């Protein structure tokens, strides 16, 4: 049998987070920072339009056909987690049309704090918050904040105008993430963009070396119900496997009331 050449599939990198936190802008920034050295493609997800894809095409960061839109027609989290078929087909088409690609960035349609990518769709995921959403958002937890590969606290240039202490917001995020990476980012701060660029290159190198393992942030963060037994006033558990994990150690008591209203 002929020996197969090593052709690592492109790194598939998801970008999720609430509406308006700067996901499309972050993707444009990554493309600007890396387009000369990497072969890139982008998939956007919008509910009814291809607005994000058009924004990115007009930014001129990649040739237009390397940016493709998936119109989900439903809650964005459905298309990136529950039934990823449309996205997977779009990624595979893009990878085939422009083979070989190094990185495909996939933007989630703006959703709430609970939306994360399936590890069957992306190899790594960035969750984006912004300072304008309020300094307390990082403390509110959720699977993306808690366990995405990278949490970005975006638009730090706006912090003085919205009265947010960036250092405190980053510290809160770090505490909620048990040491996983947190990056304070602004498109007006070249040093922060350099860190983002280096992070993407590191993940890509690990992906190619076979040492990066896709993590599943899970559908919902471990949390407690205030009316259940726990020394801190609740019973900390997770719905990730559909099985409560009683006594699960967690560094913070998540905002139980907010996290349990969807059940
Ligand atoms: N001041 C500032 N505004 C930003 C930054 N990044 C994005 N924005 C703005 O935030 C708004 C939403 O950005 P967008 O990328 O469309 O967010 P998305 O909905 O998460 O994709 C736009 O008006 C952007 O120009 C930033 O670093 N600083
Ligand atoms: Mg967008």
227 and 194 fall within a common domain:
no
Claim to verify: residue 69 and residue 122 sit in the same structural domain: yes
- The total of structural domains in the chain comes to 2
Kindly report, residue by residue over 182-213, the tens digit of the pLDDT: 999 999 999 999 999 999 999 999 999 999 99
Residues 226, 197 within the same domain: no
Domain holding 113, by residue range, is 11-209
Same-domain pairing of 182 and 232: no
Residue 224: the pLDDT is 52
6 in a domain, yes or no? no
The dihedral region occupied by 73, where left means phi > 0, alpha psi between -120 and 50, and beta the remainder, is left
Ligand 1: residues with CB < 6 A are 19-25, 110, 154-155, 157-158, 186-187
Q: Could you tell me the pLDDT band of residue 232, with boundaries at 50, 70 and 90?
A: low
Do residue 139 and residue 235 come from a single domain? no
Ligand 2 geometric centre to CA of 109 (Å): 7
Looking at the structure, tell me whether residues 73 and 153 fall in a common domain.
yes
141 and 164, same domain (yes or no):
yes
Structure token pair of residue 209: 């070396």
Ligand 1 atom closest to residue 110's alpha carbon, by position in its atom list: 19
Closest atom, ligand 1, to C-alpha of 27: 15
156 and 254 assigned to the same domain: no
Determine, yes or no, domain membership for 2.
no
Q: Report pLDDT for 72.
A: 78
173 Cα: distance to centroid of ligand 1 (angstroms): 20
Closest atom of ligand 1 relative to the 28 alpha carbon: 15
Q: Give the Cβ contact number of residue 208 at 10 Å.
A: 14
Which CB contacts under 8 angstroms, 24+ apart, belong to 64-68?
65/97, 66/40, 66/41, 66/42, 66/94, 66/98, 67/41, 67/42, 68/41, 68/42, 68/43, 68/44, 68/93, 68/94
What pLDDT sits at residue 260? Answer: 29
Pair 202, 122 in one domain:
yes
Look at residue 5 and tell me if it is in a domain.
Answer: no
Mean pLDDT score, 78-93: 93
| pLDDT band for position 141 (cuts 50, 70, 90) | confident
* Residue with CA closest to ligand 1 atom 4: 155
Residue owning the nearest CA to atom 9 of ligand 1:
22
- The ligand that comes nearest to the alpha carbon of residue 51 is 2
Mean pLDDT calculated for residue range 71-96: 89
User: What CATH number has the domain bearing residue 30?
Assistant: 3.40.50.300
| Half-sphere exposure for 179 (CA within 13 Å, toward CB) | 1
The structure tokens 């387009």 sit at 35
Q: For the residues of 128-159, what is the DSSP string, one character each?
A: EEEGGG-TTGGGG--HHHHHSSEEEEE-GGGH
Whether 16 and 47 share a structural domain: yes
**Confidence at residue 5, expressed as pLDDT on a 0 to 100 scale:** 52
Please indicate, yes or no, if residue 216 is contained in any of the structural domains. no
Residues 77 and 188 in one domain: yes
CA atoms of 123 and 213, how far apart (whole Å): 7
Q: What is the mean pLDDT of the chain?
A: 84
Same domain as 169, residue 250: no
């Amino acid at each position: 049998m002929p020996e197969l050449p090593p052709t690592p599939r492109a790194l598939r990198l998801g970008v999720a987070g609430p509406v308006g936190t700067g996901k499309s802008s972050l993707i444009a920034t990554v493309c600007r920072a890396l387009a000369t050295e990497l072969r890139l493609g982008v998939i956007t997800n919008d509910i009814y339009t291809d607005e994000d894809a058009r924004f990115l095409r007009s930014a001129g960061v990649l040739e237009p056909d390397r940016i493709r839109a998936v119109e989900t027609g439903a809650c964005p989290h459905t298309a990136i987690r529950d039934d990823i078929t449309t996205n997977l087909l779009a990624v595979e088409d893009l990878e085939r049309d422009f083979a070989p690609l190094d990185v495909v960035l996939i933007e989630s349609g703006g959703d709430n704090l609970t939306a994360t990518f399936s590890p069957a769709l992306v190899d790594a995921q960035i969750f984006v918050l912004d300072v304008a959403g309020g300094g307390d958002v990082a403390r509110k937890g959720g699977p993306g904040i808690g366990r995405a590969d990278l949490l970005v606290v975006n638009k730090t240039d706006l912090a003085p105008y919205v009265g947010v202490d960036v250092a405190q917001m980053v510290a809160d995020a770090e505490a909620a993430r048990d040491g996983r990476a947190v990056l304070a980012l602004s498109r007006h701060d070249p040093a922060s963009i350099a860190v983002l660029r280096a992070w993407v290159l590191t993940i890509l190198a690990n992906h190619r070396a076979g040492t990066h393992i896709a993590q599943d942030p899970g559908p919902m963060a471990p949390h407690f119900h205030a009316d259940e037994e726990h020394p801190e006033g609740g019973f900390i558990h997770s719905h990730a496997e559909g099985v409560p994990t009683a006594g699960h150690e967690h560094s913070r008591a998540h905002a139980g009331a907010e996290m349990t209203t969807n059940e």
